[in-house]
Structure 1
Amino acid sequence: MAATLDSKLDSSSAPMLDKKLSALSDLIARCLPALRSDNFAKELIMGLRQLVPIDDASVLYYARGDLPTLVYHETPKSRSASNMERFLAGAFLLDPFYKAAAEDRRFGVFLLKELSPERFRDSEYYHSWYRNCGFSDECGFLVEVGKDAFVNVALGRLQQRRFSQVQLRTLRSLQTAVEELCRQHWAAESGSGEGIRKHLHLALDDFGSSLLTERETQVINLVLHGHSTKSVAQRLSISVETVKLHRKHAYAKLEVSSQAELFYLFLDSLMSARDYRGGDTLVSYLAKPERKSYQ
Structure 2
Amino acid sequence: MGTVTLHLSEVFPLSQAELASAHWQGLLANIINSLAQEEFYQNFSRGCEYLSGYDSVLIVWFSSEHRPVHLYDDVPEEFAKQTMPPWFEGAYLLDPFYQLFVDNAPDGVYPLVDVAPDFFFETEYAHNFYSNTGLKDECALLVNLDKDHAILVSLGRRDEGTVSAANIDTLKLTLPVLATLCRKQQSAGEGEITFSAPLDKAFRNFGRDHLSKRECEVIQLILKGHSNKGIAQLLDISVDTVKVFNKRFHTKLNISSQAELFSLFLEAISLVPFDADIDPLTHYFEITQRP
User: Does TM, scored on the shorter chain, surpass 0.5?
Assistant: yes
What is aligned with 2:47? 47
Describe the SS at the equivalent of 2:270. Answer: helix
How has the CA–CA distance of structure 1 residues 88 and 193 changed in structure 2, closer, same or farther, with 3 Å as cutoff?
A: closer
Task: Return structure 1 stretches of 4+ with deviation > 3 angstroms.
Answer: 20-27, 159-162, 188-196
How has the CA–CA distance of structure 1 residues 20 and 123 changed in structure 2, closer, same or farther, with 3 Å as cutoff?
A: farther
Identity %: 33
Q: Deviations along 1:169-192, whole A, 9 cap, x unmatched? A: 111121011011101111134468
What is aligned with 2:66? 66
> What amino acid is the match of 1:102?
V
Give me the whole-angstrom Cα distance separating, in 2, the residues matched to 1:112 and 1:51: 18
Q: Deviations along 1:13-48, whole A, 9 cap, x unmatched? A: xx9542155365344211111111110111011122
> What amino acid is the match of 2:271?
S
Give me the whole-angstrom Cα distance separating, in 1, the residues matched to 2:240 and 2:64: 41
How has the CA–CA distance of structure 1 residues 80 and 185 changed in structure 2, closer, same or farther, with 3 Å as cutoff?
A: closer
> What amino acid is the match of 2:168?
L
Give me the whole-angstrom Cα distance separating, in 1, the residues matched to 2:34 and 2:189: 16
> What amino acid is the match of 1:176?
P
Give me the whole-angstrom Cα distance separating, in 1, the residues matched to 2:262 and 2:162: 26
Give the 5 Å matches for 1:1-295.
16-20=15-19, 22=21, 25-63=25-63, 65-146=65-146, 148-190=148-190, 196-197=197-198, 200-289=199-288
Structure 2: stretches of 5+ with no match in the other structure? 1-13
Q: CA deviation at 1:195?
A: 9.4
The count of residues paired between Structure 1 and Structure 2 equals 276
Q: Deviations along 1:213-243, whole A, 9 cap, x unmatched? A: 1211111010011111110010011111111
Question: Which has the larger Rg?
Answer: 1
Structure 1 residues 46-55 or 210-219, which shifts more?
46-55
> What amino acid is the match of 1:97?
F
Structure 1 residues 177-186 or 79-88, which shifts more?
79-88
Give me the whole-angstrom Cα distance separating, in 1, the residues matched to 2:225 and 2:64: 26
Give me the whole-angstrom Cα distance separating, in 1, the residues matched to 2:289 and 2:75: 32
> What amino acid is the match of 1:268?
E
> What amino acid is the match of 2:167?
Q
**TM-score (norm: length of structure 1):** 0.85
Q: Deviations along 1:29-77, whole A, 9 cap, x unmatched? A: 1111111111011101112222332232111122562221111112235
Instruction: Tell whether the 8 Å contact from 1:26 to 1:47 is kept in structure 2 after alignment.
Output: no
Describe the SS at the equivalent of 1:210. Answer: coil
Name the Cα RMSD after superposition: 2.5
Give me the whole-angstrom Cα distance separating, in 2, the residues matched to 1:138 and 1:272: 30
Q: CA deviation at 1:290?
A: 7.1
How has the CA–CA distance of structure 1 residues 196 and 30 changed in structure 2, closer, same or farther, with 3 Å as cutoff?
A: same
Describe the SS at the equivalent of 2:171. Answer: helix
> What amino acid is the match of 2:116?
S
Q: Deviations along 1:126-157, whole A, 9 cap, x unmatched? A: 22332222111111111112452211111001
What is aligned with 2:5? none
How has the CA–CA distance of structure 1 residues 21 and 48 changed in structure 2, closer, same or farther, with 3 Å as cutoff?
A: farther
Describe the SS at the equivalent of 1:75. Answer: coil
Instruction: Tell whether the 8 Å contact from 1:124 to 1:260 is kept in structure 2 after alignment.
Output: yes
